[in-house]
Each structure stands twice: as structure tokens, then as C-alpha cells.
Structure 1
Amino acid sequence: MINLALYRAMWRLHGKTLGAMAIGSFFYVLMIVSIYPYFTPEYTNELLKKMPEEMMKVFGIEAGVQRLNDFIAMEYHSFMYLILLMVYSVVIPTRLVARHVDRGSMAFLLSTPLSRPRLVLTQVAFFITGLGLINLFTVLGGIAGDAWMLDQPALDRSNYVELNLVCFLFFSVIGAYSFLFSCLFDDEKKASSWSATVTILFYAMDFAGKLGEKLDWLRNWTLFSLYEPVRLARGEEDILWTAVGLGLTAMVLFLLVAMVFRRRDLSL
């Protein structure tokens, strides 16, 4: 289904960026695990009590931190990892489609005997592979840190894998609508602006919805209501329907991307 020559070319263009993100995520999780023994649950929860109640709700830590899973989710998945994958899921799809149209290199790609759906689905496959690689190294960082740096195993590996599986599917959806905007607009800046604006708006709605009961209804209209890293890390969420819903949404959006790109008048 995908074109291997184009797929390999994308790795040559973007492989260093993806490798840096994946390896950086691995070592960042290792660092978090290494400092875990110095932040006992009692000490950490005492610090958390000094935070405003609303902020604890925003980060899903109302119940405090009880184990390593909670600690990684709070320290990494609730902020730094969130930003990393938001940037990846907005920037990479834009570079894979809109940038080629904007700079004229799409004309060269379309001059080859390669159908438009196959071309764009190859770009999608590269995005998905990169996202999976970052998530895989994040999982390996947690497992390696637990095995190498702690005297006693403290990581619930099953819940940790489930957390990162949901992360993978969640950011696949963000990447999917970023691809859609890249197919709708010829201008790289406009495509990235729309993708970033929608993502930030969704996040802001979720943030506002967590701050007070009067605005709680906003969370019904945002994708980020499904992103609860601390609850997922604790195993408090049944991920089955969340994973199925996110997976189907991503698949439908990617098929829509192929249909839109096939019909586009690219004026090349």
C-alpha cells in the first residue's frame, strides 16, 4: 500500500529529528525514575497540598502520588510529554504534505507513477511509525529505569503500557486532523496555524472545564477529556472503549485525508 522509496526518503529527511525525540524521551523518563526514591509519597503529597485545589484537578493529582506510575505520569506525561507530542503531531504532518505543496516539491512527487492516495498514505505511515517509535522508547525508558535504578521494582508495567498506548492513539487523532488541514491548505503556515489553533483550543477548553463546575460542560466538546495520564497510570480508567474510539476516529480521519488529497486542485 505504501511506497517504500518515498517512505525511506522521509526517514532520510526527518529521521534525525525523530531519533532525537525518541532518545530524548527515553533518557528523560530514566531521569524521572532516578529521582523517584528521593520523592517519597509522603514528601511529594505534602508538596502537592500546597498547590491550589483547581490546579491539582487540572493535572489529575487530587488523590496525590502513591507509586512510580503516578510519579512518571505527573512529572512527564502531564506536561513535557504532552508538549512534545503536540508539537510532533502538528509540525510533522504539515511538513510531510503542506510544506511540499508550498515549496513546489509536490510537483516532483506527483510526476512519478504514484497515485495521490498512496502518496499521502505513505506520509501517514511515516508519521505513525515515528509516533510509535517515540512511545516505544518512552515505555522502554520506564521499564529500564525501574530495572536499573531502583532497588525494588516499583513500576506497574501493564498500566504503564496502557497509558502509552492511549497516548499513541490520542496523538494519532491530532496528527490525523493536522494532515487534513495540510491537505486543505496550500500554504504551510496556514495549515500549521489551523492545526495548532484547534489543538490549543481543545486543550484550553479541557483546562477551563477542570477549573470549575460551571465550565465542566466544556470537556464534553474537547478531545483532551480523554487524556487523563495520571488516572490511566493508576489503572483507574477502562481503556478499551477509549482506545477503540480513538483508533476508529484516527482511521476515519486518515481515510478522509486520502479522499481530500485525491480531489484537491493543487495548482502545481
Structure 2
Amino acid sequence: MNFSLYKAMMKGHGKFLFTCAFTGFLCLYLLVMTFPLLSDSQQFNDVIKSLPKSVMDAFGIQGNLTNAVEYMAMNFYNSIYLYLLMAYTILTACQLVSRFVDRGSMAYLLSTPVTRRKVINTQAAVLVTGLVVMCLFTYLGGYFGVLSFVNNSEFDLGVFTELNLIVMLIFLLIGSYSFLFSCIFDEEKTALGAGFGVTLLFYGLDMVSKLSEKLSWLKYCTIFTLYQPEKIIQGTYDTVSISLVLVVVSILIFAAASFIFQKRDLSL
């Protein structure tokens, strides 16, 4: 990795990163603010319970609304947060490589004494750093929200931390294959299409697999099967093993992306 390039890329990427990170922080903080009101609302609880079980499973509407972590998982970590991370991770992965190639800017980076390997590894480090910062901001948004509005007896910090860790590692994997697409394709729109296409396909398969027992086999075709907030909350999730798998696979894909970038002919 080249520190000077890393510093310059983080500076150029800072505005987009801060916007996404602050959005995650604010959304979760404001959501937690509504917890005391909605957790005591019998009407809201009745509406949730009236939904078909298959629909509740597909959209992750599970858990006890009087528990702060389950409330956040149901209303943020199973919906808004996934979409926000999806947009940030895939857009950033494509901006860091294929956008430079597509616009001819990569020629300037490769004309410096920095090797291709250091350039691409630095870009990967920028992506990982941004993802960690964004997830950390969101984590703090939830934590400070709980300190401000929730009774501590209704909040399990360990489970909340575990939930955030798994979300981050799931999107580390999504970021790794999006980065791979960015290294394979010259055109930014093609890399974006591949990244969003594969991720939305995984997400759709996960939802469909929960709608019917006959379609449950589809869960083996999507990485979102590894994202199970309800099991994390219940304490039945094998966090250590799944985390190691996600990290190892992500590293292997990043390594493959780096190798491909170093060996391929670029249209500069």
C-alpha cells in the first residue's frame, strides 16, 4: 500500500463517506428516539402481529418490540441500513477502479513510481476503511440513541455489537466482489451493473426463500442467508465461525481482484 495515495484517496472520498456515515448515524439515532413511544403502542404491536408469518420472515419483521436491539434489527438493520450499505459499498468499489479506467484517470496513477500492486491494494484499503468508518458511525448512532432514550435494562450491548459486526462483514464480502468487478470491467456502468445485479439477486433470493417452504432451498444460493439478526439476538448464531468464513473469503476475492488488475491490459 502507498500511504501518500491512500491519504489523497481518502481526502477525495471523504465527502461521500461522511454523507453516508452521518446518514446512518442520524437515521438510527432518530429511530431509537421513537422506541419508547412505539414499544408501548398496543396498536402498532397489533398491526405487526396481524401480518402473515411468511411476509414477516421475508422482511425480517421478527422479535419483541419491547427489546431495544430487536426493535432496531426489525426497523433498521433489516431494511434501511442494508440499502444504505449496498449503495455505499458498490458505488465506492466502482469509483475506486473502474471509474478511473473509464475516464482515463488511471493512466496518471500508473505513470507514477508506484507499482500496480500498490495502487490496487491502496484502493482496496480505501474501500475497507470507508466501510469500517460507516459501520462505526452507525454503531455509535445506535449506542448514543440508547443512552439518550432507552432504559439500560432493555439493551444488550454485546448482542448489539455482534449484530453490527456481522453486518459489516457481510458487506465486506459484497465490497470484495464489487471491487473484483471493478477490476475486471473497463466501463463504470458495467461494473456497477454487475455489482448491483449480483447483490440484488442475492437479496431477492433470500426474501423468496423465506416466503415458502417449497422455495427454502434458495437460501443456499445467497450470501444473505448468513445474515440472521433473529439468531444473533437469541444467542444461537455461530458468530466466530461465520465471521472467519466471511473474512477469509473476502480476502481471497480482494487478492484475486489485485492479481487480475496487475495482469490485465488496460484501455488507458
* TM-score, with structure 2 as normaliser: 0.95
1:237 match: secondary structure = coil
Asked if the contact 2:62–2:230 (Cα under 8 Å) also holds between the matched residues in 1, the reply is: no
Match of 1:16 in 2: 15
Asked if the contact 1:89–1:175 (Cα under 8 Å) also holds between the matched residues in 2, the reply is: yes
1:7 is displaced (CA, Å) by 1.1
Q: Residue 49 of structure 1 aligns to which amino acid in structure 2?
A: K
2:81 match: secondary structure = helix
CA distance in 1, matches of 2:63, 2:151: 26
Count of residues in Structure 1 that have an aligned counterpart in Structure 2: 267
TM-superposition CA deviations, 1:183-228 (whole Å, max 9, x none): 1110111111011111111111111101001111011011111112
Alignment gaps of 5+ in structure 2: none
Trace 1:224-235 onto structure 2 (pairs within 5 A).
224-235=224-235
Compare 60-69 and 216-225 and name the one that shifted more: 60-69
Trace 1:51-70 onto structure 2 (pairs within 5 A).
51-70=51-70
Q: Residue 37 of structure 2 aligns to which amino acid in structure 1?
A: Y
2:31 match: secondary structure = helix
CA distance in 1, matches of 2:66, 2:99: 45
Asked if the contact 1:70–1:234 (Cα under 8 Å) also holds between the matched residues in 2, the reply is: no
CA distance in 2, matches of 1:91, 1:63: 32
1:52 is displaced (CA, Å) by 2.0
CA distance in 1, matches of 2:233, 2:62: 14
TM-superposition CA deviations, 1:114-133 (whole Å, max 9, x none): 11121111111111111111
Match of 2:185 in 1: 185
CA distance in 2, matches of 1:138, 1:63: 21
Trace 1:38-117 onto structure 2 (pairs within 5 A).
38-40=37-39, 43=42, 44-117=44-117
Q: Structure 1 pair 22/35, CA: closer, same or farther in 2 (3 Å)?
A: same
Q: Residue 3 of structure 2 aligns to which amino acid in structure 1?
A: L
Poorly superposed stretches of 4+, deviation over 6 Å: none
Match of 1:206 in 2: 206
1:211 match: secondary structure = coil
Asked if the contact 2:69–2:155 (Cα under 8 Å) also holds between the matched residues in 1, the reply is: yes
CA distance in 1, matches of 2:120, 2:205: 31
1:10 match: secondary structure = helix
1:54 is displaced (CA, Å) by 1.2
Asked if the contact 1:53–1:62 (Cα under 8 Å) also holds between the matched residues in 2, the reply is: no
> Percent of aligned positions with the same letter in both sequences?
40
1:258 is displaced (CA, Å) by 0.8
Is 1:266 the counterpart of 2:262? The answer is: no
TM-superposition CA deviations, 1:129-165 (whole Å, max 9, x none): 1111111111111211111223545221111111111
1:238 is displaced (CA, Å) by 2.1
Q: Residue 145 of structure 1 aligns to which amino acid in structure 2?
A: G
1:110 is displaced (CA, Å) by 0.4
1:89 match: secondary structure = helix
Q: Residue 68 of structure 2 aligns to which amino acid in structure 1?
A: L
CA distance in 2, matches of 1:102, 1:74: 40
Alignment gaps of 5+ in structure 1: none
Match of 1:30 in 2: 29
Q: Residue 26 of structure 1 aligns to which amino acid in structure 2?
A: F
CA distance in 1, matches of 2:135, 2:194: 25
CA distance in 2, matches of 1:62, 1:166: 18
Asked if the contact 2:98–2:183 (Cα under 8 Å) also holds between the matched residues in 1, the reply is: yes
Match of 1:135 in 2: 135
CA RMSD, Structure 1 to Structure 2 (Å): 1.5
Compare 73-82 and 8-17 and name the one that shifted more: 8-17
CA distance in 2, matches of 1:192, 1:240: 31
Q: Residue 31 of structure 2 aligns to which amino acid in structure 1?
A: I
Match of 1:168 in 2: 168
Q: Residue 21 of structure 1 aligns to which amino acid in structure 2?
A: C
Match of 2:241 in 1: 241
CA distance in 2, matches of 1:193, 1:40: 40
Asked if the contact 1:48–1:64 (Cα under 8 Å) also holds between the matched residues in 2, the reply is: no
Match of 2:257 in 1: 257
CA distance in 2, matches of 1:215, 1:141: 37
Asked if the contact 1:69–1:156 (Cα under 8 Å) also holds between the matched residues in 2, the reply is: yes
